[in-house]
A and B are shown apart, each in its own frame.
Chain A
């Protein structure tokens, strides 16, 4: 590379001497012509490149949105692509075409054209109208997506911590029991800090890494974080919400396809993945969870197989005296999946 550089430099230097010998004027005209041509070539090849890039990659971005909100987001996306695409083509073509067309020539005089109020009003008003339309559509969808979840929505609590996800289901009573972060006690079966005195906690189901949801049933997530900010990113559903310690957030959507249906479409490896989308420390890139979307019947069977954390905690307390010190090792470090991949 160094050699290449030396060669380039020698040529560059030589061209400077040549310029002096041949007359700077002449060299300047020549390099002006070359660059004008290159600008035009760049425009044409660039537009072909944009098309080629799209051909190569359009199959690799996600398929059909897997939630009702995702559909809205996709339609907003396509409206915006169409509008900005037109503007992109017009402005880039004019920019490079003018650059080529009006390259310096001996005989040409530049046109003294300092301003034109009519033109300026046109290109103030047109963008304003176009943007009003985009804002209008955007907010129409935005309020649908961020509005209240339907009453029949199933609720799941998601908690992010370095570097995995924990889930809690309200159980038969449909209510998530109260919790307090100072009650967190990993060693004694209370990873979320549930307050056992609250009876609503007695049937709450706790899982980690994998979450279950029912197809075509609105799903409302109540999102927490234990340590730093995380983010529940659901690319296939096109949904995303930060998990903030101390400030619970919510989002809801209705999954349209079961995991099985998606596997039929996109291959056996398909999973609805939960990615952490907010920088949360060294294991951020490996903070992965999975959502299994299934039929109500399958979900019921799965839920019935789970024992509430409360029962485990009480059973453990019966035999051992409660330990006051939380065990540090069980909570820290990169998640198991993360470390195994790195090593």
Chain B
């Protein structure tokens, strides 16, 4: 009974929302489901308040950044693979940054820093969450749009502003920030210590602040929409796992990004206003600084309080997308739905309690270190549950290997490989040796870089028909998948061995060292493979943009035979998503192959004769 009243309240919310919506657009369409707006180019494609358009904006902006970030990695890989070679073409393009055709140390560090910043924040946070939260929340929950389409639009435009500022920092005379994506103080606080810590660093901080604003606007909107705007019958436990994943992601972001912002503001103060939050006892470049009493470690606490949840902000949406894509293409319910939700929840809670595992060798109190070891390794339990549940989802399925499905399987493989090396690093004893080595680079690239990309690709291939009414080319999709999967393992698997040998991260030339110079051939191989993998991503981009205009057309509303609501909309849904009433939901999203039926959409009422589960 209570349930019913709830739903009625929710329907009222829809109405109010639609009312607001009309006010915003001011073009007097009578109700929410009438989508014959008279939209100008500006309101439709630029300052759009339609969640689907905003999703596309996030996706395409993210892709642009992915090209930039990927290109940077190819450049610094050239240096790592071929430290003795010269590439005159680099000097043509980058001038003194690549004097004599060799990447200079400052340039190298700027490339590394920007590669990390761009991919972690702009691609895998903005691009991934921004795209799929915006696209899927209203469509899968049965809402006409986000709770606040206007804030949603602002969220994109703050992201855009952050992008513009970050991009412009690439062109200042002293170069962009170059202290690593973590920008540890005091290096990031002192212009005297590094060229990249001059104006480039201020721009980096301001850009990141704008990015935080964008994330918060987006996140609050996602949470509000998920809690309040589910259609009638869509109880929380009937939501597809994508929704749960995005919900927890948004909570993580809303609670942890402000801490990062505070850390950045203190850094800005230390840089420009003479405060000493992070500075004490410093003699830099022969100059004795007056600052006393600050703590360089404080910055790390503030940074990692977001920095660690950030990796879950990246991976949770990917997990959600993979769960959905895998279930649909296995023609089987996701195994252990409640365990999947529970493990997402456990990961979310633990994500806040493990940040200091990045700081085992900072002089942290060993007892505190021990607490963080325990909490960190606890995360392996929900992660293991998820992996076993995915594998069991495949068991006795009837698997269709669409490119999206392949990427979902690849995701699980990558997540296993990268997750297991996390058990090495989360154990402080081993971390003493492996901390800040190539082992860490290999670990996090596999577990959150490649995995998250795989989740994102699974999502793009799967929902492209919903976004553009056309399919991506399958053959190119298969090539994309296989080259990326094999390439990613070739790049990152052997890199663990470099880490075991103690090779530090962020070393651009190992020839100085007798302990680390034994990997010349390996580094060449990695460089060659990363160029190939990068080229294949460009091919994917081509497939993407080509297919928007020329791809095979979608001819049925539900091409994958999926249960979720987004496939009950027209092939090219307008603003408002459903031309008629919003559909009502009667069941969970995973009734595949039940009672001899291939799939039973969420909108279908439960037949009393059906099997219970």
Contact = CB atoms under 8 A, between A and B. Distances in A.
Contact of A73 (B184, B385, B406, B430): B430
A334 B109 CA distance: 14
Contacts of A104: 331, 398-401
A235 B518 CA distance: 14
B398 A105 contact: yes
B423 interface: yes
B511 A341 contact: yes
B514 A182 contact: no
Interface string A36-63: 1011001000100110010001101110
B502 A110 contact: no
Contacts of A305: none
Interface in B238-288: 279-288
B282 A120 contact: no
B542 A35 contact: no
Contacts of B287: 326, 328
Interface string B569-613: 000000000000000000000101111100000000000000101
Interface centre among B332, B502, B519, B552, by most chain A C-beta atoms within 10 angstroms, is B502
Given A186-B286, A342-B509, A242 B361 contact: yes
A331 B192 CA distance: 12
Contact of A112 (B479, B507, B593): B593
B394 interface: yes
A305 to B, nearest CB: 25
A88 B335 contact: no
A1 B194 CA distance: 38
Interface in B304-348: 330-339
Contacts of A102: 330, 394-399
Contact of B512 (A31, A141, A162, A338): A338
Given A73-B430, A235-B515, A53 B494 contact: yes
A264 interface: no
A53 B509 contact: no
Contact of B385 (A120, A275, A282): A120
B478 A72 contact: no
Given A240-B436, A285-B105, A279 B179 contact: yes
A228 interface: yes
B362 A242 contact: yes
A316 interface: no
Contacts of A161: 283
Contact of A28 (B102, B400, B436): B400
Contacts of A276: 504
Nearest to A13: B473
B511 A72 contact: no
Contact of B519 (A60, A70, A288, A342): A60
A36 B399 contact: yes
Interface in B463-494: 473-476, 478-479, 482, 485-486, 489, 493-494
A134 B423 contact: yes
B480 to A, nearest CB: 10
Contacts of B391: 91, 94-95, 98
Interface stretch (B19-27, B145-153, B366-374): B366-374
Given A50-B493, A145-B432, A247 B296 contact: yes
Contacts of A11: 475
A197 interface: no
B14 to A, nearest CB: 30
Contacts of A114: 333-337, 590, 613
Interface string B518-540: 11001000000000000100010
B43 to A, nearest CB: 35
B237 interface: no
A281 B193 contact: yes
B538 to A, nearest CB: 8
Interface centre among A84, A147, A231, by most chain B C-beta atoms within 10 angstroms, is A84
A110 B397 contact: yes
